[in-house]
Amino acid sequence: MTTERLEHRACFGGWQDVYRHRSEVLGCDMSVGVYYPPQAADGPCPVLYWLSGLTCSEQNFITKAGAQRYAAQHGIILVAPDTSPRGADVADAQRYDLGQGAGFYLDATQPPWAAHYRMHEYIAQELPAWVEADPAASDVRAIAGHSMGGHGALVLALRNPGRYRSVSAFAPIVAPSQVPWGEQAFAAYLGEDRAAWRRWDACALIADARERLPLLVDQGEADEFLATQLRPELLRAACAAAGHPLTLHLRPGYDHSYYFIASFIGEHLAWHAAALRGG
């Protein structure tokens, strides 16, 4: 796989890198942020995959969340991919919530999207294979994300039992089949058959989950998208009905921004560190 390092910056005793590599699954070049903590120099470290939200690239998390400080403390590699395939030959839309920058971490089945938009396969299979080819990275994995990326993290964990030791999300779209962002994206990428949408909806997947991996979710109560797009009460109800473990923090005063993520990312990294250690 062709790889080019674009950035290499010292950070909390480790290195914040950005790479461009060729994705055969997506049929385009992808940019990925990778933080190597200082412990990576001495042997394989576990990996946390971070999935960002609508309009984001690999840059948002690595420049705004402040997660490297905590990753260095716990000895965790952070991998932050772009949010969709990109390029002149990749389908796009004239809106921020569909097309490039809005991959929704699913495998599209409808034209013109199906040719490139296979973010689930990329995150679950191709990206870890690329990461774990580096001897600094182990195959012990966790996953987390924000908003659209929170949806992606929950769905990837639920659809791939045994692949991740832990999962968490900030302000996730928990029931995309029932909110405008998800309905628009699913109709475009998957077609109008709502039965097919259930495979990409965390609340629908909870009922039949083969692994009871505990979920950690933080949600700001001042989030402008809370009532219309995020609806964490639906996740709480789905988990209660299925007996699925959920820790849901509702944070007064916090909005949808990276100020919110930066405020609690340390708690999330500690949660993942405990699971990645097996404790």
Residue 256 a catalytic site member: yes
- Pair 71, 77: CB distance under 8 Å: yes
- Pair 77, 48: CB distance under 8 Å: yes
Q: For residue 180, report the phi and psi dihedrals to the nearest 5 degrees.
A: -60, -45
**b/e per residue, 49-65, with b = 16+ CB within 10 A?**
bbbbbbebbbebbbebb
Q: For residue 202, report the phi and psi dihedrals to the nearest 5 degrees.
A: -60, -45
Residues 6+ apart with CB under 8 A from 3: 19, 20, 21, 22, 130
Exactly one of 23, 223, 263, 268 is catalytic; name it: 223
Residue 177 a catalytic site member: no
Exactly one of 23, 57, 147, 166 is catalytic; name it: 147
Residue 195: burial class (beta carbons within 10 Å; 0-12, 13-18, 19+): exposed
State whether residue 30 is helix, strand or coil: strand
DSSP state for residue 229 in the 8-state scheme: I
Exactly one of 151, 244, 256, 268 is catalytic; name it: 256
**Can you point out the beta strands (E) in 77-136?**
77-81
Residues serving a catalytic function are 147, 223, 256
